[in-house]
């Protein structure tokens, strides 16, 4: 019995050593061929620096076209970017003003890392909502019809529920507003350990390289994946993933007016 006890103790010690030390022994090869986001800007690209507490401001990439009594704010999903709206943007712009932007840390918007902020994490859900309102203020927009796809649909609902004075309509396309969206508390706790922060960028690289539908053209696939050509995209994506809490708004549709 004592012999089995010793073996079990040895196994546990080895397991703990692997868990605690192993991640620091895994090589993290640097990203190759990445560039500053503005070097990838297209002909319709615009950039604006939004103030954010504890930072020097965050650069946001956006499109802005059209005019009229209505303004549409187009919100893309997880691991994508404003090119989500490539085939529909002109239609919205023909119906009024249309604004689409890359939510951080996606597309060609800035990718701050922990050393770049002092207090509130700019990737938190609260900061994401605040940044959307900050963008509207900076562009002189009072009210919008929010159009959201996937995780962008969740943000659209948050904006409508938390800032109804700024939202006059909501259009949701396959919105990620149901349970299971985001990381459970235990996963977040693990994600913020030194070990997971070490190997997190490797996991983010697997998350960020999405398999796109074969129905997309080569150009569309390149546009959809443009964020993976930006400096530090893997580290920023891990920071975003580690702080994104679970949120279920599926029982709040009746609160939308």
pLDDT in tens, 26-40: 777 888 999 999 999
Q: What is the CATH number of domain 34-248?
A: 3.40.50.1820
Please list, residue by residue across 102-113, b when 16 or more beta carbons sit within 10 angstroms of its beta carbon and e when fewer do: bbbbbbbbbbbe
Q: Which two tokens stand for residue 36?
A: 């500053």
Return the beta strands (E) in the chain as ranges.
Answer: 46-50, 58-65, 71-75, 97-101, 144-150, 167-175
pLDDT at 202: 86
Q: Which two tokens stand for residue 154?
A: 């969740």
165: CB partners within 8 A, 6+ apart: 143
Q: Cα separation of 158 and 120, whole Å? A: 19
- Please report, for the chain, the start and end positions of each structural domain, with discontinuous segments joined by +: 34-248
Digitized pLDDT (tens) for each residue of the chain, 257 residues in all: 556 656 555 565 555 445 556 666 677 788 899 999 999 999 999 999 999 999 999 999 999 999 999 999 999 999 899 999 999 999 999 999 999 999 999 999 999 999 999 888 999 999 999 999 999 999 999 999 999 999 999 999 999 999 999 999 999 999 999 866 666 666 667 777 777 778 888 888 888 887 777 788 999 999 999 999 999 999 999 999 888 888 899 999 999 98
| Phi, psi values for residue 123, rounded to 5° | -95, -5
pLDDT at 129: 97
Q: Cα separation of 166 and 129, whole Å? A: 12
pLDDT at 17: 45
User: Is-above-0.85 flag for pTM?
Assistant: yes
């Amino acid at each position: 019995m004592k012999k089995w006890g010793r073996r079990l103790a040895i196994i546990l010690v080895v397991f703990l050593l692997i868990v605690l030390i192993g991640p620091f022994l895994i090589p993290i090869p640097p990203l190759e061929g990445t560039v500053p986001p503005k070097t990838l800007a297209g002909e319709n690209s615009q950039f604006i620096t939004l103030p954010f507490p504890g930072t020097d401001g965050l650069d946001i990439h956006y499109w802005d076209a059209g005019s009229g009594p209505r303004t549409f704010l187009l919100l893309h999903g997880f691991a994508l970017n404003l090119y989500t709206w490539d085939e529909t943007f002109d239609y919205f712009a023909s119906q009024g003003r249309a604004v689409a932007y890359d939510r951080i840390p996606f597309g060609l918007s800035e990718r701050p890392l922990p050393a770049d902020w002092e207090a509130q994490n700019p990737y938190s859900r609260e900061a994401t909502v605040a940044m959307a309102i900050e963008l509207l203020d900076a562009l002189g927009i009072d009210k919008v019809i929010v159009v959201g796809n996937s995780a962008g649909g969740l943000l659209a609902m948050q904006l409508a529920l938390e800032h109804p004075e700024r939202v006059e309509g909501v259009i949701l396309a396959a919105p990620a507003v149901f349970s299971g969206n985001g990381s459970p508390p235990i996963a977040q706790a693990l994600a913020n350990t030194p070990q997971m922060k070490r190997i997190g960028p490797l996991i983010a690289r697997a998350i960020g390289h999405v398999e796109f539908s074969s129905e997309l053209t080569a150009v569309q696939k390149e546009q959809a994946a443009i964020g993976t050509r930006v400096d530090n995209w893997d580290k920023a994506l891990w920071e975003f993933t580690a702080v994104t809490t679970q949120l279920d708004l599926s029982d709040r549709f009746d609160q939308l007016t």
